[in-house]
Amino acid sequence: MLVISVTALFAPASPAQAASPYGTKAVAVAASKKGAPYVYGATGPREFDCSGLTLYAFRKAGRPLPRTADAQYESTQHISRSQRTPGDLVFFPNGGTMGHVGIYAGQDKIWHAPKPGTRVRLERIWTDSVHYSRAN
């Protein structure tokens, strides 16, 4: 006989598994910037670099972030891949720093401003060498 606890089925997620209250709005803000050109050092509202897009999206969502990818990583709650939810930040290390950042959109995709000559877009995460964090 299989016994399943109703409490376990409907218990709230632990804090590390609960989505950021800012995440859903940040995803929507980033999506609204689809097609905006990448410009190094730009923080919006019409041009962005990678951390400028995350800074802008989270500021509009009500959660200020620092300017750089490294500082954003250090100022947010680090989580595992299995805990990620839409609105979490996805960091791409480059040597000893975080070289790139995007906003997790679900289904292994991120909103990001990739590099000079490109535009803000939704793209599949192309590597397993990433770190996740949550801006609570």
Q: Which position among 30, 36, 50, 65 bears the catalytic label?
A: 50
Is residue 100 annotated as part of the catalytic site, yes or no? Answer: yes
- Tokens 């709650």 belong to 77
Nearest residue to 51 via CA among 120, 100, 104, 121? 100
Nearest residue to 81 via CA among 121, 15, 124, 128? 128
Structure tokens that stand for 90 in this block: 């996805």
Nearest residue to 127 via CA among 81, 60, 84? 81
Is residue 78 annotated as part of the catalytic site, yes or no? Answer: no
Q: Which position among 100, 105, 121, 134 bears the catalytic label?
A: 100
Is residue 131 annotated as part of the catalytic site, yes or no? Answer: no
Interatomic CA distance for residues 53 and 30, integer angstroms: 7
Nearest residue to 108 via CA among 134, 121, 90? 90
Q: Which position among 33, 60, 84, 112 bears the catalytic label?
A: 112
| Catalytic annotation, residues | 50, 100, 112
